Amino acid sequence: MVERFGCRATVMFGGVLSGVGMAASSFTRSITELYITAGVITGLGFCFSFQPAVTIMGHYFVRRRTFANAMSSTGTALGLCTLPFLGNFLHAELGWRGSFLVLGAVLLNCCVCGAVMRPLHRRHGNGGHPLMNHGPPLTSPPPPDPGKGRIKALWRRLMASAGRHMAFDLLRHNRRYLAFAVGITWMMLGFVVPLVYLVPYATAGGMEPGRAALLLSILGVVNIVVRPPVGVVFNTPRFRGRHVYVFAAALLVNGLSNAVCCLGPGFGVLLGYVVTYGLSMSVVGSLMFTVLMDIVEMSRFPSALGLLAVMESVTLLIGPPLAGEEKCGNFSSSKEIPAPLTSLNRGKPDRNRRETEMLSKRQQNMWKF
């Protein structure tokens, strides 16, 4: 849809879809209906809104792309701090049905965000007549069977279209994208586990629920404070072409920081863990899309990001249940599992810095605004 209708229309369609899905959740009568409205419909709306927003950021900014991505990712930290309190307030005042209606109205503001996006104008080169004649030769072989030829041609077109729009050709021919996609998919198996089990782990160790919830708020504040400076620092010429090294180092620190929780569920220990995890998480969140934009051309970025989102959603779905307390009876393993999963993802850094810089210059000359 991004390649066919553009980022603006796709974001606005996603805003309508997510708002309608969330508002329809207030009229559900069973958990199955809630799965369809709040899960499938609203989730599809989020997908249609998120991917074009990230894509258009890469087109708007080339020289300050790292800082722009860092600032845009700060919204995740703001949501981490404010949405839990907003949800609790709405549930206490309006009930769960009224809360869904209000949240649906809030999500409709995605349409406003999409409407203010400036359209992209592609720069067309000087046209001319081709030097070679691509018409049929004077003596052509006899045509094949029309029925079989049409079926084979249709099948080839479908496979070529699916391979291009789903970025399967990038997985086959771009080794850097293959390594990045596999690494991010593996990372998501343990990256969000601390966000799910931090509060249960703290309360299971005897901490008051209020102090345990404060840890998540501190994590959000750390992300809000750190991400803009991260964008400023790593947008300097000194780090140009070196983003992947910083990204890999931040992933290593992020994974190893989970081992701190093995020392105990005390507030001081978990506070140090939250600060360390938040710092590394800020760097990872600020640079992840920048690294992807350095790996693939912006003309292929929407399909590359879409395939990456599909791959990482699978491990994102099975990660928290895999680290739960069902088998071991406690939450200790939920903090031990993410450490190797996230750390091993640091992978092989990209050593071809010159190629990355040439790709960035080519993208800068391709688009005008």
One pLDDT digit (tens) per residue for the chain, 369 residues: 777 777 888 889 999 999 999 999 999 888 888 889 988 899 888 888 888 888 887 778 777 878 888 888 787 778 777 777 787 788 888 888 898 999 999 999 888 888 888 877 655 444 444 444 444 544 445 555 555 666 767 767 766 666 556 677 788 888 888 888 888 888 888 888 888 788 888 888 888 877 887 888 888 888 888 888 888 888 888 887 788 888 889 888 888 888 887 787 788 888 898 899 989 988 888 888 888 888 888 778 878 888 888 888 888 888 777 766 554 455 555 554 455 555 555 544 444 445 555 555 554 444 443
DSSP 235: T
Q: How far is CA 208 from CA 197, 204, 270, in A?
A: 15, 9, 13
Q: Which residue type, as a one-letter code, is found at position 231?
A: G
Name the CATH code of domain 1-120 (choices 1.10.15.40, 1.10.760.10, 3.40.1390.10, 1.20.1250.20). Answer: 1.20.1250.20
Query: CA–CA separation, 364 vs 352, rounded Å?
Result: 19
| Global pTM exceeds 0.95 | no
**What are the backbone dihedrals phi and psi of residue 367, each rounded to the nearest 5 degrees, phi first?**
-120, 145
Q: How far is CA 158 from CA 172, 306, 364, in A?
A: 18, 18, 31
- Superfamily classification of domain 163-360: MFS general substrate transporter like domains (1.20.1250.20)
Identify the CA nearest to 363 among candidates 19, 87, 63, 4: 63
Q: Is 367 helix (H, G, I), strand (E, B) or coil?
A: strand
What are the residue boundaries of the structural domains of the chain, listed by start?
Answer: 1-120, 163-360
Do 163-360 and 1-120 have the same topology in CATH? yes
